[in-house]
Each structure stands twice: as C-alpha cells, then as structure tokens.
Structure 1
Amino acid sequence: MALYYSKPKAHKNFLGRPWKEYSRTVFIHCTLLLYRTVFIYCTLEALITTNGWMPWSCDFALPTLYYGEFENSGPGANVSGRVPWSNQIPKEHVLVYSVQNFIQGNDWIPTSSS
C-alpha cells in the first residue's frame, strides 16, 4: 500500500478484463475500499479506477461479455464513471449468479459443519 500511496495515479486496478469471449464477472454486495479482494458478500478493498473495467485489446470480446455490479459500497463502488459495456444487475436477476444457480455449487462443493 505504501507504493500505491506514494503515486496513487500511477497505480491502476480494475474489477476485471475479458480473457475470452463470453466471459462473466459480477460483484454482488461487495464493499469496494482499499486493499483486499474477495468476491460476493465481501470486502473488496481495491484501488479501483473510476471506469472499473479494462478491455483486453481494443474491443476484443466486448460484444459477448457480461460484467456486472449490484449494490456494492465503498469508494471503489461509484459507477458514474464506468465503461459503457459494464452493467448494473437488476435486483430480479441477482440469484442467477448464486453459487447454486451459476455453477451448480450445491452439487460439488461440500457443506461445512460447525
């Protein structure tokens, strides 16, 4: 963090960029602050640029990707400067990205017992 604070405008971080066509990345109920990265009901403390997302190369994969955010908070969560190809996930679509629905997690991720 000391390196970032020494030259904050020189160090840019993004929520993601497409490596392949049809990529999907979503941030749901995250706190976007300053240095930790965890997804879904998380604290994502990152040094996020205002545009949020970075293209891979020119417009590669932009027509097929879906990058979305829903009810995030913190300094990095301001969506007013986001790139035009990012999305705000409608509330009625949030469950599509749950572990169960998106990757059928209940079928292969073991439950923990406390």
Structure 2
Amino acid sequence: MGGFQNAAPKPAAGAQSQAVAMRISGDKAAFYNCRFYGYQDTLLDDKGRHFFKDCYIEGSVDFIFGSGRSLYRNCEIRSVSDYPGQTAIVAQGKSSKGDKSGFVFLDCHVTGMGDVYLSRAWREYSRVVFAYSYFDTVVNPEGWNDKGFTERDKTVFYGEYKCEGPGANTNRRVDYVKLLTDAQAKPFLDESFIRGRTWILPPPTL
C-alpha cells in the first residue's frame, strides 16, 4: 500500500489553491491499494489509460481531474469539503467529440462531508459514469453541475447506472444526466473501457 499526499494547508473558502498530490500522464498505468490525500485538485489524471483499484482518494474541490481515460474500481472517494455552497468531486477534461477520454467509477463509495456534485462540466464534452456505486448523503440531489455553461448540457456525457445509497435518488437530478439502460452501460462496466485486458496484470503479492 502506497500513499501520495500534498501537505499544503487547507485553503480558505473561495480561494483558488491548487495542490496536486499526484499526476499521472503515462499510458497503461495501474494503481492498487493506493491512497491519495489533498484538498483542491488532489489527483491529476492527466492523459493516457489508467486503472485504479481498491484506492482511497480524498479532497475538497475538483479532486479527481484531468483528461485521462480511466477506470476506478472499488475505490473510496471521500470529500473533506466544509465550504459554504457546493463543490464538485470530478472535473473531467474531454474537449472534443473525437477525444476518447473519460472517467468510469465502478463499485465505488462516495462518502465524506459537504454538499458535492459528482462532476462539473469543466470541458465541453466531459465524460463521467458512475455504476454500481454507493452515494452517501454528501451527494447533492441534482448530482451534476454545468457551472453556468448551459450550452454544455447538450455535449457532456454524464451517466449513472444502478447506484444506491441516500445520495443515489435520481428524482431531482439535472435533466441532462443519462440514467443508463443495460445496453448503454455495457461499455463502461469492465476493463474493456480502457482496453485493459491486454495490459492490466494482477496486483503483486507481498
């Protein structure tokens, strides 16, 4: 088990204080049982295909962000935001139709404190899917946020599939979220999303 931490102090409410704990920009990288600690922008999932399994990721604002094409499996995603107003967990940076990037959170737990959106529309074609995941009360009932860029409501791809928990009620979700059917969800439910069957190896044994 390894850990990555940015020890910068917690920024004041409303302050822009990026403090990245880890940046991954290479292709075909896998992380097992790793822990990531920070506040704003903890994990920069920059570019390339990545696999995170059994990891713990903690932060306050946009704390999983970047333009990677990544699968997060059985991870705990914990908000430590106590700012007034809402913040977002994810800011995914897909910027064009042809861009294949996106983040999939499979069998994950979203916990912690604050009033958080699952993701915000950082780029025009931002793509994020949560499937078979547990949402605690920390998740805002609207689920997702366009940060005022309403034109992006037509281009982002935000999906939920068979999630549960007190924050998973979709009655008040934004109208541009996709509540995925079985067929729509299928491309996101295993390592094929990152073409990982040829390069993801079992975690090393100690």
TM-score by length of 2: 0.42
Deviation of 1:107 (Å) = 3.2
The answer to which structure, 1 or 2, has the higher relative contact order (CA under 8 A, 6+ apart) is 1
Greater share of strand = 2
Task: Please give the root-mean-square deviation of Cα atoms over the aligned residues, in Å.
Answer: 2.7
- 1:71 alignment partner, one of 159, 162, 166: 162
Given candidates 123, 126, 129, the residue that maps to 1:20 is 123
- Describe how 1:1-114 pairs up with structure 2 within 5 A: 11-34=114-137, 47-112=138-203
Preserved CA contact (<8 Å) 2:121 2:149? no
Q: CA deviation at 1:104?
A: 1.2
State how far apart, in whole Å, the 2-side matches of 1:57 and 1:77 are: 23
Q: Is the 8 A contact 1:28 1:71 kept in 2?
A: yes
- TM-aligned CA deviation for residue 109 of structure 1: 2.7
Q: TM-score, normalised by structure 1?
A: 0.71
Paired with 1:96 and 1:62, the residues of 2 have a C-alpha distance of 22
Q: Which amino acid aligns with 1:48?
A: V
Query: Residue 76 of structure 1: SS of its match in structure 2?
Result: coil
Q: Which runs of 4+ in 1 moved over 3 A?
A: 7-11
More helix per residue: 1 or 2?
1
SS at match of 2:178: strand
Q: Percent identity?
A: 29
1:94 partner letter = A
Q: Give me the whole-angstrom Cα distance separating, in 2, the residues matched to 1:102 and 1:23.
A: 16
Q: Where does structure 1 lack aligned partners over 5 or more consecutive residues?
A: 35-46
**Matched length:** 100
